[in-house]
Amino acid sequence: MNKKEFLEKIEQTYLQSLAIINNKNSDYATDEDPFKNFRSALIVGVNPKRAILVRSADKLSRISNLLDKENIVKDETILDSILDLIGYLCILKVWIETKHE
């Protein structure tokens, strides 16, 4: 693999992650409040940015486990979890940039 191919793969990964963010955001949030699902963590006293971080930690833990064994849940591979983690970290970045908390 050369540098051009490497960067193309990275770009494909970001585009795949963006598509997942868009689809999940349609299911979990609204056009007016894309953070709606993370704000719901306030019900149990968890700050939305911490809720995003917890979801990221869940994905990181799953990735760590799947590095050592095959997944049982067949519709969520290690690659799916990596894309989810990228997405959650992007969401956290946007939260911090726009909320300044």
Predicted TM-score (pTM) of this structure:
0.89
- Taking the CB of residue 88, how many other CB atoms lie within 10 A of it? 24
For the chain, which residues make up each domain, given as ranges? 3-99
Instruction: Kindly give, in sequence order, each residue whose CB lies less than 8 Å from that of residue 92, ignoring residues fewer than 6 positions away.
Output: 49, 52, 53, 56
**What distance in Å separates the CA atoms of residue 92 and residue 96, rounded to the nearest whole number?**
6
Q: What is the pLDDT of residues 5-51, one digit of tens each?
A: 999 999 999 999 999 999 999 999 999 999 999 999 999 999 999 99
- The H-assigned helical ranges of the chain are 3-28, 36-39, 48-68, 78-99
